[in-house]
Amino acid sequence: MRVRAKLWRIKNSKAVCHLCYNLCQIEAGEAGFCGARYFDGRELVTKNYGVISAIENRPMEIKPFYHFYPGSYALTFSTFSCNLDCPWCQNWHLSKEREFRGQYVGPEELVAMAVAKKSHGLCASFNEPTILFEYLLDVFSLAKKKGLHTSMVSNGYMTPAALKELSGVLDAINIDVKGDEEIYKLISRRENLKGVWRNVKLCLDLGIHVEVIHLVVSGLNDSMEKFEGILRGMERYAQSYVPLHINRYFPAYRYVHPPTSVEFLYKAREKAKEMLEFVYVGNVGGHENTYCPECGRLLIERRGVVKVYMEGNRCKCGKEVYGRF
């Protein structure tokens, strides 16, 4: 469904979109980099409001959220397209699609589905949810009224203005930091790595629960030198308690390099643990447990059933653990 977009203005008879860091300047009759935001000459409209490509009830651990209501389920939904263009995209069948031919599901209908399926929350994932900005505001606002939690799995490339508006209705975000400036030059219209890191910090300041994902792509960023860049970002913009997920890549879309070396992933985890409390390796089969960074006790067990061994958000030793439990 087409609706008037938020966050744009007219400049030199073009529409400048302020939803994400690409800051597309869109001529009349054209769409921005994401293909979803179209300037009709009078106003910027979104072509994908409520156009849904997939809906599935999924555990938070799969996304991955490890410190946000472990063991709970969120009705997870997506649309098509993306505001970045990664040649190794793991969800390319959705992200590279620029025709918005999905079923229309209104916000009320989607939230009613979550309630009917006894989901604990709603999560926007699979493709980049920023593209669904106007829809997310409506869906998440309704979800909050029903007592459901709200989350998104994102590349964090939205503008701070977009993030601030979302923060009124968004409980948790996973931000995928891709690597260094060179990578963002390759995949975006306008490189802004620093902006992604600043958004990590902004989420913490706004009280949004945040976990960081980093996909280690073979032949691209699978060196300890590049990985240390991620750790410097965590040190500067996040806190030592923010969970870091180091994820394994598999060949997809235009990228044919072999899957990431598991040995490298574990080496990276050891390095990260020198400064971060919670570091997880993902996409290697199964899920990792959470242990207390102070005393080493098992806090959250993820073997089939998720079990939380904490009192509130504290370990038996008294250590406070970041997250919502």
Nearer to Zn ion, 256 or 295 (CB): 295
Calculate helix-pair angle for 133-145, 160-167, nearest 10 degrees. 20
Is residue 315 a contact point for Zn ion (CB under 5 A)? yes
> Which of the ranges 2-10, 111-119, 171-179, 289-297 carries the binding residues for Zn ion, by CB under 5 A?
289-297
Nearer to Zn ion, 7 or 321 (CB): 321
Is residue 224 a contact point for Zn ion (CB under 5 A)? no
> Which of the ranges 8-16, 93-101, 136-144, 293-301 carries the binding residues for Zn ion, by CB under 5 A?
293-301
Let me know: does 97 contact 78? Beta carbons within 8 Å: no
What is the residue type of 321? V
> Which of the ranges 16-24, 51-59, 76-84, 316-324 carries the binding residues for Zn ion, by CB under 5 A?
316-324
Query: Rounded CA gap, 289 and 267, in Å?
Result: 17
Is residue 317 a contact point for Zn ion (CB under 5 A)? yes
Partners of 279 in the beta sheet? Answer: 244
Q: Which tokens is 78 given? A: 């997506």
- Mention every residue, 6+ apart, whose C-beta is less than 8 A from residue 93: none
Is residue 314 a contact point for Zn ion (CB under 5 A)? no
Nearer to Zn ion, 216 or 299 (CB): 299
Q: Which residue has tokens 């199964």? A: 286
Is residue 298 a contact point for Zn ion (CB under 5 A)? no
Is residue 172 a contact point for Zn ion (CB under 5 A)? no
Is residue 321 a contact point for Zn ion (CB under 5 A)? no
Q: Which residue has tokens 């040649």? A: 87
Instruction: Show the beta-strand stretches assigned E in the chain.
Output: 3-4, 8-11, 14-17, 25-26, 30-31, 37-39, 44-46, 51-52, 54-59, 73-78, 103-104, 121-124, 149-154, 172-176, 209-216, 244-248, 279-282, 290-291, 298-303, 305-308
Partners of 301 in the beta sheet? Answer: 307
> Which of the ranges 98-106, 140-148, 164-172, 295-303 carries the binding residues for Zn ion, by CB under 5 A?
295-303
> Which of the ranges 51-59, 110-118, 192-200, 310-318 carries the binding residues for Zn ion, by CB under 5 A?
310-318
- Mention every residue, 6+ apart, whose C-beta is less than 8 A from residue 314: 320, 321
Is residue 300 a contact point for Zn ion (CB under 5 A)? no
Q: Which of 295, 298, 311, 320 binds Zn ion (CB under 5 A)?
A: 295
Is residue 108 a contact point for Zn ion (CB under 5 A)? no
Q: How far is the CB of 294 from Zn ion (least distance, A)?
A: 4
Is residue 310 a contact point for Zn ion (CB under 5 A)? no
Per DSSP bridges, beta strands 25-26 and 14-17 are: antiparallel
Q: How far is the CB of 298 from Zn ion (least distance, A)?
A: 10
Is residue 173 a contact point for Zn ion (CB under 5 A)? no
Size of the site for Zn ion (CB under 5 A): 7
Is residue 292 a contact point for Zn ion (CB under 5 A)? yes
Is residue 294 a contact point for Zn ion (CB under 5 A)? yes
**DSSP at 7:** S
Is residue 311 a contact point for Zn ion (CB under 5 A)? no
> Which of the ranges 4-12, 148-156, 257-265, 297-305 carries the binding residues for Zn ion, by CB under 5 A?
297-305
Q: Which tokens is 81 given? A: 């397209």
Provide the binding-site residues for Zn ion, judged by CB under 5 A: 292, 294-295, 297, 315, 317, 319
